[in-house]
Amino acid sequence: MIEKPTVLVVDHIASRRADLVGYLQEAGAETMEAQDCDGALEVVANDLPFLAFIEEELPVKSGFALLRELRQRHPEVKVVILSQSATSFNVLQALRGGAFDFIARPLDSGEILQPTLRRAQAKPHECTQHSDLIASLETKTRALERTLSMMRAINSSVEKLTRLDRVESLLAGLLEIAAMVLDARCGFIVLIEPKSGDLTLRVGHGYGDALTFNNITLPPGLVSEAVRRNKPIRIADSLPSELDEMLNPSERRHLLPHPGILAAPLHLKGREAGMIFLCGHPDDHLFSREDLYALVHLAHHTALLLEHVGLVQQLRRQPTPA
């Protein structure tokens, strides 16, 4: 461990730079200062620091630009990026660019610097958190990008659904859009008959000619149990044994033939109306919580549209006043 490391502080705001210098000196470091990218490179050319704390929002050239310059000219200098904007994009950009760490402002005390200083002076085999953090952030960023893409697709799809004025068309549209957005292999919608309470298959997608969807009454099984419980369902991959035992022969052979299930209840005017099921996760990933949230969101919007269509049809059936 270095007894008294030399640390460069780069910030164009003098008061903020002075505060950071004070924190570092209290921690036992020797400090050097610069207020911009060019000034920092001049300092480094004369006296190579062990560590550099760089403000992201520097004038003319950003802190990320200085990071790239230091990585090219002096890769042995460890760089810490400081920023008011601690978004996953900024953190990932810094770490991908070779930064040793990323610290979010404001800095209320020097305590937040201590872990970074200790890790910077540790032996290489003790510094494994950097690559782990990059991998974690990349995973979270991909998930966020996929969620945003799904929500954009859903919002666009809801606009298309508003142009439909028949219940059957809305249900078919809901199922087709859900399967497309979530990249499911197949899916179906079951409705609860108001008088008998029976479950009937109303719409299917992705089954070809294997199944006929024309108000077929479903026997007891996993689907009926899911509708009875009336809660969203996410089974990422294969069915657990206790659920697999609930499958009736038709569900096992036809309705739910692939691993991965998503299901969301449909409600109309405050009552349980049925459920939408998607089956078969895509090849590149399992069904996620974000996928289930998207399906629930889409089912909710469709229920509102179904209520609107019902009111419109009711008005159409009323006689025109003389």
> Where residue 310 sits, what CATH number does that domain have?
3.30.450.40
Question: 155 and 298: one domain?
Answer: yes
Question: 31 and 109: one domain?
Answer: yes
**How far apart, in Å, are the Cα atoms of 180 and each of 154, 159, 163, 209?**
10, 16, 19, 19
Question: 149 and 96: one domain?
Answer: no
Q: What is the pLDDT averaged over residues 32-44?
A: 95
More confident residue, 215 or 319: 215
Q: Which residues contact 269 (CB under 8 A, 6 or more apart)?
A: 307
Distance, in Å, from the CA atom of 83 to the CA atom of 63, rounded to the nearest integer, reads: 9
pLDDT tens figures, 177-206? 889 888 999 999 998 988 888 898 888 898
Q: What tokens were used for 264?
A: 């969301």
More confident residue, 29 or 140: 29
Q: What is the pLDDT averaged over residues 222-242?
A: 93
Select from 99, 127, 155 the last residue of a domain: 127
- Domain containing 96 — which CATH number? 3.40.50.2300
CB 85 within 8 A of CB 106: no
**Amino acid, res. 46:** N
**How far apart, in Å, are the Cα atoms of 303 and each of 6, 268, 308?**
64, 6, 9
Residue 136 lies in a domain: no
Question: 205 and 93: one domain?
Answer: no
Residue 138 lies in a domain: no
Judged against a pLDDT cut of 90, whether residue 148 lies above it is answered with no
Rg (CA), the chain: 29
At residue 316 the predicted structure's pLDDT band, cuts being 50, 70 and 90, is very low
CB 250 within 8 A of CB 217: no
123 C-beta neighbours (distance < 10 Å), count: 7
Judged against a pLDDT cut of 80, whether residue 137 lies above it is answered with no
pLDDT confidence of residue 211: 58
Question: 120 and 195: one domain?
Answer: no
Name which of 241, 178, 187, 237 is nearest 211 in CA terms: 187
Average pLDDT, the chain: 83
- In the sheet with 199-205, reading across from the earlier edge strand, the strands are 216-217, 199-205, 186-192, 271-279, 261-268, 233-235
Question: 150 and 121: one domain?
Answer: no
CB 256 within 8 A of CB 178: no
By mean pLDDT, which of 21-25, 68-72, 78-82, 170-174 is the weakest?
A: 170-174
pLDDT confidence of residue 285: 85
Distance, in Å, from the CA atom of 63 to the CA atom of 10, rounded to the nearest integer, reads: 9
Residue 133 lies in a domain: no
Question: 10 and 118: one domain?
Answer: yes
Handedness of CA 102, 103, 104, 105 (dihedral sign): negative
Q: What tokens were used for 283?
A: 């090849």
Which range has highest mean pLDDT (42-46, 116-120, 291-295)?
42-46
Question: 170 and 110: one domain?
Answer: no
Question: 73 and 162: one domain?
Answer: no
Q: What tokens were used for 65?
A: 């630009």
What is the CA angle 287-167-182, rounded to 5?
15
Residue 132 lies in a domain: no
By mean pLDDT, which of 128-137, 161-170, 230-239 is the weakest?
A: 128-137
Instruction: Write out the H or E segment, with its range, that includes residue 154.
Output: helix 129-161
Question: 107 and 159: one domain?
Answer: no
Q: What tokens were used for 40?
A: 């920092």
Q: Which domain covers residue 55, as residue numbers?
A: 6-127
pLDDT confidence of residue 269: 76
Distance, in Å, from the CA atom of 48 to the CA atom of 79, rounded to the nearest integer, reads: 12
pLDDT tens figures, 68-125? 999 999 998 999 999 988 787 888 888 888 899 999 888 878 888 888 888 888 755 4
Distance, in Å, from the CA atom of 319 to the CA atom of 152, rounded to the nearest integer, reads: 41
Select from 96, 127, 158 the last residue of a domain: 127
112 C-beta neighbours (distance < 10 Å), count: 14
SS3 of the chain: helix, strand, coil, percent, to 5? 50, 20, 35
Query: How many domains is the chain built from?
Result: 2
pLDDT confidence of residue 212: 61
Question: 218 and 305: one domain?
Answer: yes
Q: What tokens were used for 68?
A: 């790239």
Question: 165 and 287: one domain?
Answer: yes
Residue 322 lies in a domain: no
Select from 78, 93, 127 the last residue of a domain: 127
Would the pTM count as exceeding 0.85? no
